Amino acid sequence: MAGLRVVRGGAVVIPGIELTVAAGEVVGLLGPSGSGKSTLMRVIVGVQVVAAGTVSVLGRPAGHPALRREVGYVTQAPSVYPDLSVAENLHYFATLLGADAADVDRVLDAVDLASSATRRVSTLSGGERSRVSLAAALLGSPRLLVLDEPTVGLDPVLRRDLWDLFGRLAATGVTLLVSSHVMDEAVRCDRLLLMRAGALLADATLPELLERTGTPDVEHAFLALVEGGGR
């Protein structure tokens, strides 16, 4: 993306961002609440009006209809039907996407919900519901997954399992953009984008970031960048 500028509700939320993401990377988008992570993700999936700039996703303009099957997006709020079972939800989304019914079993296994397939979503825990949304996004094998805070509310074991899954997906060539305000998740990312007030403070690997800032972890690196006022 080049020269990206976004205005929401009359306020400039992203003044200008240049960014390129390579295929098969797990990219962590880290930053405090309100820093613009969700807005940037909305731009990439093509649901956000932009004031200026060009955004190209998998070689096409963001939001292009051909990207519908190529890009999976999971928002912070679970986007599945509470009164349907896990499997019914996934079959419904598979039909919309034109995905094979067998794909439902694959994604159920991927998020470790095969044993809950017949349960109504309304009876699931918050973390289980998030995993149903993630399973829906995995249908049709998208090449880019945009995941907005997928680990919020998950216990450490589930968080680790999800990050393991992200790593396995990336190993098959899927690109993942994963936002988090939990800085310690940075260790699981190939590359980090640190965001603050709609701007990228850093675009680097974890070792590069720690070396550049002379800090022991991302939390301190972030603070050093904010206090140093730049890259």
Ligand X SMILES: Nc1ncnc2c1ncn2[C@@H]1O[C@H](COP(=O)(O)OP(=O)(O)OP(=O)(O)O)[C@@H](O)[C@H]1O
Residues that bind ligand X (CB under 6 A): 8-9, 11, 13, 31, 33-39, 181
Tokens standing for 203?
Answer: 């675009």
Beta carbon nearer to ligand X, 9 or 229: 9
Beta bridge partners of 7: 12
Give the up-direction half-sphere exposure of residue 6: CA atoms within 13 A in the CB hemisphere. Answer: 26
Q: Which is nearer to ligand X, 11 or 102 (CB)?
A: 11
Nearer to ligand X, 14 or 90 (CB): 14
Residue with the CB atom nearest ligand X in the bound state: 9
Torsion of CA 219, 170, 203, 49, to 10 degrees: -110
204's enclosing H/E stretch is strand 199-204
For the bound state, the minimum distance from the C-beta of residue 107 to ligand X, rounded and expressed in Å, comes to 25
In the complex, least distance from residue 134 CB atom to ligand X, rounded to whole angstroms: 17
Nearer to ligand X, 90 or 176 (CB): 176
Q: How far is the CB of 203 from ligand X (least distance, A)?
A: 16
Report, in Å, the least distance between residue 168 CB and ligand X. 26
Minimum separation from the CB atom of position 78 to ligand X (A): 15
Q: What is the DSSP string of 116-159?
A: GTTSBGGGS-HHHHHHHHHHHHHTT--SEEEESSTTTT--HHHH
Closest CA to 27 of 41, 45, 16, 14: 41
> DSSP label at 188?
G
Name which of 128 and 148 has its Cβ closer to ligand X.
148
Which runs of consecutive H residues, i.e. helices, occur in the chain?
37-45, 86-97, 102-110, 126-138, 156-171, 206-213, 218-228
